[in-house]
Amino acid sequence: MQINNMPRPQQSRTLRCDTTAFSFLHFLPYTVCCWDNQLFAKLTNAVVVCLVFLTAIVVSSCSDSKKAPDTVAESRNAGFVVPEEFAAVKSLVFQHDMNADGKDDVILVVFDTTKRTSVKSTLVYYMHEKNGTSYSKRGTIEIDDVEYLDFRNVTNDSIPEILVHINSGGTSETASKGLEVYQLKNDSEFVMYRSFPYGEPELWESNGTLAVLLHDRFSGIFAKSESAVYVDSVCFFEPNQQADDATRRLAVLRDIELKTLREVDTLAIAKPKDADTQRAIFSKVVNRVMILKKLNRNREADDYARAIIKKNKYLSRPILDALDELRTATTMPF
């Protein structure tokens, strides 16, 4: 099961004024145009009075619109408002309970786009105070090239960690996409727990095991931009507990390999002709073949690639040629 819990950034509040009354006034003259002039004059006076009254209501409601406060004090119902010091720059608001008190705290990501080689980002932690009506700024850390945040308890201590997805924007996604995991200590200090600097990290959970999948790419005859992603290695969050990693790694790989086999069968049964589905089949076949090779099941990998080529002649010629080249591809076993 792939994990994807990206919180949605907070949307700003806007004032919407109801125009129903004005629509009514727009059509009123057409309704009374056939009446006598005296009656029409009386109705016109009434309309003017109503118009003045409605205008006063609209002006009053607009004057009560919410203004950004100078502090971060906010009611729980209204939510968090970006402080004035960050109001003029690009930022994203992520809300999550970071200290297990039942209240959502805030991680504000502030982007500095003036850097040429990377996007400097500052993570600012605002803790929701116990009175439930305000936030207090508790800690900051600078991190380059932040793409988005996840929150996940990877240490089984009831306190979630901050999973910072990194993207340096290079031509190779496996080289430019990484993951950094931070803990909050003493409600104020960001401490790095694990770092996966490359490999397009992906969270994978199976049978109670949470793993990080790191990827590589196979292009064959295709350009690098059309290459297929496959699982190159499996890591775990515990930094110093390697005794049973081999057993857990094999279990994760077998789960992925079987899941991929089922997905290929499901996609291929209809003999799809559209390019997107054929590319999806190609990517999944590449993933399974490379995993089999990493498990030292090379004969099975070769037989599977041959069978796909033989049974699925509807696939485009470039894909069939790439799959034939995949049979001879090598990769380092686990």
Name the strand (E) or helix (H) holding 91: strand 91-96
Give residues with Cβ within 8 angstroms of 127, minimum separation 6: 98, 99, 105, 135, 136, 138, 187
Name the strand (E) or helix (H) holding 192: strand 189-196
pLDDT score of 34? 41
> Which SS3 state, helix, strand or coil, does residue 151 take?
strand
pLDDT score of 129? 81
pLDDT score of 308? 95
**Residue type present at position 26:** H
- Give me the tens of pLDDT residue by residue for the chain, a chain 334 residues long: 444 444 444 433 333 334 444 444 444 444 444 444 555 455 556 555 555 455 544 434 443 333 332 333 333 334 788 888 888 888 899 999 998 888 889 999 998 867 655 678 899 999 888 766 688 899 999 998 999 999 999 988 888 999 999 998 878 889 999 999 999 888 888 999 999 999 999 999 977 788 999 999 999 888 888 899 999 999 988 765 555 678 888 899 999 999 999 999 999 999 999 999 999 999 999 999 999 999 999 999 999 999 999 999 999 999 999 999 999 888 877 7
Give residues with Cβ within 8 angstroms of 309, minimum separation 6: 315, 320, 323, 324
